[in-house]
Structure 1
Amino acid sequence: MKIKNYLMRYLAGIVVISSFVMCTKTVTPVEKPASPNPDNIAELTGNNTEAITGCTYTVKTTDWFVDGATIPAGSVICIPAGTRGALLLKNLKGTAAKPIVIINKGGKVTFTTAATASYAFKTQNCQYFKILGNGTPGVTYGIDINGGNIGMTMDDLSSDFEISNVEVRNSGFAGIMAKTDPTCDVATQRGHFTMRNVSLHNNYVHKTGGEGFYVGNSFYAGGSSLSCGKVLPHDVIDVKIYNNLIDSAGCEGIQVGSAIAGCEVYNNTVTSPGLSPFANGQNNGIQIGEGAGGKCYNNLIKNAPGNGIIVLGLGDNQVFNNFILNSGANGIFADSRYTPGPNFQFINNTIIASAADGIKMNSETIPMNTVINNVIVKSGSGVAIHKISNGVKLTASNNYTGNDITALKFANYAAGDFHLLSSSPLINAGTNALLYGVGIDYYGKTRPSGTAFDIGATEY
């Protein structure tokens, strides 16, 4: 299903209608700039944030807009502690060696705006910058985004950025969004713009109306049909989404699309996503969407009403070392849409108490599905690995299935300690996953630690 434009979830009280895998939004354009306010010039050495001793530029509480056209690469933009309204940063141009750093100063800064507002924090046409909420020792999330239809949006040809130590909450739609949707302006279209080098880590995103993280366009192959014809969304290269906490998202906790190379989603905890989806199929834990390849590993996904992980990717997708608990549908669901790659690989995952199947594969057009060393226990359907038809090509081995969680012998499953006891039947029962590049477990321990690989996400 295709959609032409993004609409706000709330516009004069109207609830947005969305497609199968994508919620919607509209962003208000810039109307007027605020005057620059230079303050307290200091030296920043390279990429080391520890070297920040002062501010090249300080954003006033009353500023809603900063035009960075005259702010040089390597500058430090400080946002003082306190409560303020929304902020737009435009035309910031750092370099790879000297990114522009945006950081909190003197404590936590909270951006508060209504959930019906377009955004609480936005970048427009910015490159090589970092938004860091670690400006005050002892304050984990020094930048607090409260409200906005999009909490944070890296939009309008923004690229090469890092966001860390930021809390995002109570957004009407997505928590953190990173993409530029294609328009009839060719500068926004595939082949003319590529979003690169995106790092989103150590953030806390919760109570969002839509996705927690929404990175890249969801309709890689078909694009959008506009007045100028069909337009294709830009590629995303080298995106890393890791060490984030996502809780109580309205749609997927993490959704990534159009990430054709260098995509990794890892070490995230996604709890209770999909609480208020705009349409069926938007209530999953993590979605590796159309046009996205790469790796999804070492994540904990709990209590997703839909699938724990849904894979619609390019076909060079590896999903391994994930704990997927209490999914309302399947633990993992795979479907081949635009899949020019050779393989979906599901290796050493632990899938427990899915209401439907453990792993369900509708992936008929992919040359091969590889399912090895997975724990699949207490599936509601009674089916551990479900092929939709004989057209699904499958290599499966050394998967542990059953109905008894206690038989797995975790150190303390109820408390979230997934280390194995010495009596676990999973120990040394797997096949060699080094052949697929899997050399660690969920806790980062080297595999194998014994005479053979263990089954599941943890190695004894």
Structure 2
Amino acid sequence: MIIRLILLLTFISIFGQFNFEEPSCHCDFTLAPETEQMNGFKTLVKPGDVICIMAGKRKNLQLINIQGDSINPVKVINCGGRVEVSNMVLGYGIKLDNCQYIKLTGTGDDKIEYGFLIDSTKKGAMGVMVGKGSSDFEIDHLEIKHSGFAGIMAKTDPECDGSYTRGTFIQKNVFIHHNYIHHVKGEGLYVGNSFYTGWNGNKKCPDTLLFPHELKNIKIYDNKIENTQWDGIQLGCAVSKSEIYNNTIDSFGLANIGSQRNGIQVGLGTTGLVYNNRVLNGKGNGIIVLGIGDNIIYNNLISDCSEFGIFCDNREVRDSSKIILINNSILNPKMQGIKMSNELTDNYILNNVIIRTGEPGDKKDYFISFGDKAAARTEGNYTSNKKSLIKPLLENRFVSDVVQKGKHQDVFSVDKDINGKARRKSGSPDPGCIEF
């Protein structure tokens, strides 16, 4: 008896310093790994609540009717370590249905950069699916790999009864950032619908022309996207205040399917800014612009694309709109650095660097080319076929050939370079995405 007491006291003295309680994440609700669904209407989730997803392996997670407000969003966060999702049965790993003012974030553990891991979904399934009228949401610090289709898909397709058609629903205030998406069978990010001009309905209403909802105030930034079979980032129907910036996209379009192999696709119905992105090693165009005009593409580093560096196609555009391509560095594209095929007359191609290897001879369109009715003001662009310039420009090293070879312009102010360095105010500007 005395020996047992001594052993017990020894155990307490040694192990009493450790806390064996469950981690405290300041939760209003906790979902154990075996809990696959939460309905905010049934559980009475209110604005400002924190829903903790407990660490461990789980099959899937579906959040339905989670509704915060513009001042107090509902936070959904990992707790106690990493949440690992693998689902080879359903069409998603994590799904948000009819959720508004919600933040899904993997920042619950300071030691883990991506607190949610969605690893493997079945063929055609998404890593994360956001739909059924979801809006005003934020998704950050997730790692998604081996999904059967897109890493993250965020859109709600219109239905035959008129639900979610243009004019009845707007997906707004969307922020997707600091995610790591890789080795997926479709797009890395698929945000908004691809068919802005509409399409005939499904089997339920084949004679009805359906128009997808619009998106407003969309920011996609600081994501790392690698090894996608289709596009790296695709954004469609974003009619106002859209920005795609500070993303790194490497090895895209690997399935080599026509029209599905671009680094960044500024899709139909989309306006806004694309800047400070690094787009590398793809089977298609670095950036393709199919939007409605007032698209400004600047400070992007585009390297080793199998088609054009930047391709602007002829699609539906707003009257009196324009496209500005300025201070981009396009290195070693297999086709022209820039191809302008849209019929807007107020276009600008300014202060870009295009290095295309080979012998251009007397071809005027070797670096920049135009479609039959396309036109643009072109000034301050530096072009060369010197292969020796590619590596230092790719590595942000000083290249004397390029310094101050641009021209001052008053079309759009580019105050900083891709690295955040202020651009010079006096003398001729540096073309390309780097300020030397």
Distance in 2 (CA, whole Å) between partners of 1:192 and 1:458 is 44
Equivalent position of 1:355 in the other structure: 334
Q: Is the aligned partner of 1:338 residue 2:316?
A: yes
Pair 1:400 & 2:374 matched: no
Question: Following the alignment from structure 2 to structure 1, what is the Cα–Cα distance between the partners of residues 76 and 357?
Answer: 46
Q: Cα–Cα, structure 1 residues 111 and 381, in superposed 2: closer, same or farther, change >3 Å? A: farther
What secondary structure, in the 3-state scheme, does the structure 1 residue paired with 2:163 have? helix
Partner amino acid for 1:362? S
Does residue 35 of structure 2 align to residue 63 of structure 1? yes
Partner residue of 1:35?
none
Q: Conserved in 2, the CA contact under 8 Å of 1:357 and 1:380?
A: no
Structure 1, residues 261-310: CA drift from partner, whole Å, max 9, x if none? 01000000000011125x41211111001001101011001111111111
Residue in structure 1 matched with residue 261 of structure 2 by the alignment? 283
Q: TM-score, normalised by structure 1?
A: 0.84
Equivalent residue, structure 1, for 2:368: 385
SS of alignment partner, residue 89 of structure 1: strand
Match 1:207 to one of 171, 183, 186: 183
Q: Which residue number corresponds to residue 140 of structure 1?
A: 113
Contact 2:160 2:201 in 1 (8 A): no
Instruction: Please name the residue that 1:83 is paired with.
Output: 57
Structure 2 unaligned blocks of 5 or more: 1-20, 361-365
- In structure 2, the CA distance between the partners of 1:377 and 1:420, relative to structure 1 (3 Å rule), is same
TM-score for both structures, normalised by structure 2: 0.88
State the 1:200 CA deviation. 0.4
Distance in 2, matches of 1:380 and 1:143, equals 46
Aligned equivalent of 2:86? 112
DSSP 3-state at the match of 1:287: strand
Q: One-letter code of the match for 2:35?
A: D
Gaps of 5+ in 1: 1-39, 41-51
- Cα distance, 1:209–1:456 mapped onto 2, change above 3 Å: same
Distance 2:54 2:255 in 1: 34
Rounded to whole Å, the distance in 2 between the matches of 1:332 and 1:286 is: 10
Retained in 1: the 8 A contact 2:357–2:386? no
Letter in 1 for 2:350: I
Q: CA deviation at 1:204?
A: 0.2
1:53/1:119 CA distance change after superposition, 3 Å: closer
Tell me, yes or no, if the aligned pair for 1:356 and 1:380 is still in contact at 8 Å.
no
Measured after TM superposition, the shift of residue 366 of structure 1 is 1.6
| Map of 2:5 onto structure 1 | none
Matched, 1:240 2:219: yes
Distance 1:284 1:121 in 2: 26
Residue of 271, 296, 300 corresponding to 1:322: 300
- Counterpart of 1:443 in structure 2: which amino acid? N
Change in CA separation of 1:315 and 1:250 when aligned onto 2, cut-off 3 Å = same
Q: Letter of the aligned partner of 2:259 in structure 1? A: G
What RMSD, in angstroms, separates the aligned Cα atoms of the two structures? 1.9
Q: 1:337 to 1:323 in 2, by over 3 A?
A: same
Displacement of 1:62:
1.3
Identify the residue that residue 148 of structure 2 maps to in structure 1: 172
Q: How far has the Cα of 1:428 moved from its partner? A: 2.0
The structure 2 residue matched to 1:259, chosen from 228, 238, 241, is 238
Report deviation, 1:407: 4.3
Amino acid at match of 1:107: G
SS at match of 2:318: coil
Counterpart of 1:452 in 2: which secondary structure? coil
Code of the aligned partner of 2:51: I
Contact 2:224 2:247 in 1 (8 A): yes
The answer to whether residue 278 in structure 2 is matched with residue 304 in structure 1 is no
What is the aligned partner in structure 2 of residue 186 from structure 1? 162
Does the 8 A contact of 1:449 with 1:459 survive in 2?
A: no
Question: Which amino acid letter does the alignment assign opposite residue 82 of structure 2?
Answer: K
Q: Write the distance in 1 (CA, Å) between the matches of 2:397 and 2:104.
A: 35
- Asked if residue 198 in structure 1 is aligned to residue 171 in structure 2, the reply is no
The residue aligned with 2:68 is 94
Specify the SS of the correspondent of 2:46.
coil
Q: Tell me which residue corresponds to 1:74.
A: 48
Secondary structure in 2 matching 1:188: coil
Aligned-residue offset at 1:81? 1.0
Q: Which of the numbers 126, 130, 137 marks the counterpart of 1:150?
A: 126
1:376 aligned partner: 354
Alpha-carbon distance in structure 1 between the residues aligned to 2:359 and 2:281 = 17
SS of the residue corresponding to residue 435 of structure 2 reads coil
Q: What residue number does 2:17 align with?
A: none
Query: In structure 1, how many angstroms separate the alpha carbons of the residues matched to 2:60 and 2:25?
Result: 26
Distance in 2, Cα, partners of 1:392 & 1:123: 42
Aligned to 1:459: 435
C-alpha offsets along residues 126-159 of structure 1, whole Å, 9 cap, x if unaligned? 0000001010012100111112211001111000
Amino acid in the other structure paired with 2:368:
I
Q: 2:253 matched to 1:274?
A: yes
Measure, in 2, the Cα distance between the counterparts of 1:380 and 1:150: 41
- Alpha-carbon displacement from aligned partner over 1:158-195 (angstroms, at most 9, x marks no partner): 00011111001101110001100111132310100000
**Is 1:445 aligned to 2:421, yes or no?**
yes
Shift of 1:445: 1.4
Match of 1:129 among 85, 99, 102: 102
d(CA) in 1 for partners of 2:357, 2:284: 14
Q: Report percent identity of matched pairs.
A: 39
Cross-structure match for 1:15: none
1:189-239 superposed Cα distances (whole Å, 9 cap, x missing partner): 010000000000000000110000000000101344341610100000011
Secondary structure of the 1:406 match is helix
